[in-house]
């Protein structure tokens, strides 16, 4: 993406600004690690937040494939409901983080994420459960 912005500048176009908070970070290890946006500490320094956590141990797909090590954490602005950050550890999270990248890019709120339907059984359901957890509405934990 940074390369595209550089080329746009070189050819005289008006490149759009790069928001580094919207760049997902991925660590290809076991378990995988992925994050986007603000950390819990960074978000807390900016104002009141709500934090959701969901362990993969409570996710049906993770149990079915016997890979339950990990969790999903989501961080929201308490007053606006804006998703400020998401952090994930576990199988497939380097693929799943894109869902939160889109949500942050589109300035999605917790209400919109809570109303999103996730397929069952999938690892991505842990993303939904983490959102629900931030607002005291978890289903499977």
Quote the pTM value. Answer: 0.90
Boundaries of every domain in the chain: 21-134
Which segments within the chain are labelled E, that is strand? 25-27, 32-37, 49-55, 71-77, 83-90
Residues designated as active site: 120
Distances (CA, A) of 56 to 1, 50, 123: 31, 20, 8
What is the enclosing helix (H) or strand (E) of 44? helix 40-46
Say what the pLDDT of residue 72 is.
Answer: 99
pLDDT in tens, 98-129: 999 999 999 999 999 999 999 999 999 999 99
Say what the pLDDT of residue 14 is.
Answer: 83
- Its CATH architecture, for the domain 21-134, is 2-Layer Sandwich (3.30)
Say what the pLDDT of residue 19 is.
Answer: 86
Q: Quickly state the pLDDT bin for 22 (edges 50, 70, 90).
A: very high
Residues 56, 61: Cα–Cα separation, whole Å = 9
């Amino acid at each position: 993406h940074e390369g595209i912005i550089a080329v746009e500048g070189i050819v005289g176009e008006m490149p759009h600004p790069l928001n580094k908070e919207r760049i997902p970070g991925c660590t290809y290890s076991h378990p995988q690690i992925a994050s986007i946006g603000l950390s819990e500490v960074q978000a807390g320094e900016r104002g009141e937040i709500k934090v959701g956590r969901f362990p993969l141990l409570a996710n049906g797909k993770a149990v079915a494939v016997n890979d339950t090590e990990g969790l999903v954490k989501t961080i929201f602005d308490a007053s606006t409901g804006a998703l400020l950050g998401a952090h994930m550890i576990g199988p497939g999270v380097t693929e799943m983080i894109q869902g939160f990248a889109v949500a942050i890019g589109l300035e999605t709120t917790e209400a919109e994420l809570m109303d999103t339907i996730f397929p069952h059984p999938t690892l991505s359901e842990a993303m939904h459960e983490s959102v629900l957890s931030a607002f005291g509405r978890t289903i499977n934990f």
